[in-house]
């Protein structure tokens, strides 16, 4: 290891127990996002926020989204259907499938059952999910 690197070491952030069982849907809603970690990037020419969390959806009305940031979603369980309004194609994502949303993407999310995905976005935390706060290693009381 380079001597210069050792003086600039920063410890990892570990989130303990950040699973779907801690993410209830809001009253009267069939989908939610749960932001659980955000950081302002330091190594890019144009620093941006980098936020990650979970997306949960159950059967119900379509959930529209028009993106002014980039996002990736990786499906962990169930099925998430995404209508891409640019092409008119509905993609049926299942565990192991990955989607990338560009600035300007316009979609509608839905499912016939339920779906759960991990996401990473280039935006700050909108509202930290209360059931995930304080779950960083060293703070968690599991």
Give the Cα separation of 136 and 122 in Å (integer).
Answer: 21
State pLDDT tens for residues 94-103: 999 999 999 9
pLDDT of residue 106: 97
Assign 92 a pLDDT band (cuts: 50, 70, 90). Answer: very high
Count of residues for the chain?
142
Please state which of the four CATH numbers 2.30.30.190, 2.60.120.10, 2.40.100.10, 1.10.287.130 is assigned to the domain occupying 3-121: 2.60.120.10
Please state whether the predicted TM-score (pTM) of the whole model is above 0.75.
yes
pLDDT of residue 136: 59
Q: What percent of the chain has pLDDT over 90?
A: 48
- Decide: 56 and 116 in contact? Cβ < 8 Å: yes
Helix (H) or strand (E) holding 121: strand 114-121
Q: Where are the domains of the chain?
A: 3-121
Q: Is 50 helix (H, G, I), strand (E, B) or coil?
A: strand
Give the Cα separation of 25 and 33 in Å (integer).
Answer: 9
State pLDDT tens for residues 30-82: 988 887 777 777 766 777 788 888 999 999 999 999 999 999 999 999 999 99
Helix (H) or strand (E) holding 48: none
Give the Cα separation of 102 and 46 in Å (integer).
Answer: 17
Which positions ≥6 away from 92 have C-beta within 8 Å? 79, 81
Phi/psi of residue 21, each to 5°? -65, -15
């Amino acid at each position: 290891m380079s001597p210069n690197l050792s003086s600039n070491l920063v410890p990892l952030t570990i989130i303990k127990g950040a699973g779907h069982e801690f993410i209830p849907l809001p009253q009267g809603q069939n989908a939610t996002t749960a932001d659980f970690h955000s950081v302002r990037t330091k190594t890019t020419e144009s620093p941006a926020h980098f936020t990650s969390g979970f997306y949960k959806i159950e059967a119900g009305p379509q959930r529209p989204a028009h993106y002014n940031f980039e996002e990736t979603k990786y499906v962990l369980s169930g099925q998430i259907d995404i209508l891409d309004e640019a092409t008119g194609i509905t993609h049926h994502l299942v565990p192991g499938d990955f989607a990338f949303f560009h600035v300007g993407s316009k979609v509608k999310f839905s499912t016939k059952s339920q779906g759960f995905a991990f996401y990473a976005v280039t935006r700050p935390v909108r509202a930290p999910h209360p059931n995930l706060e304080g779950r960083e290693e060293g703070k968690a009381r599991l």
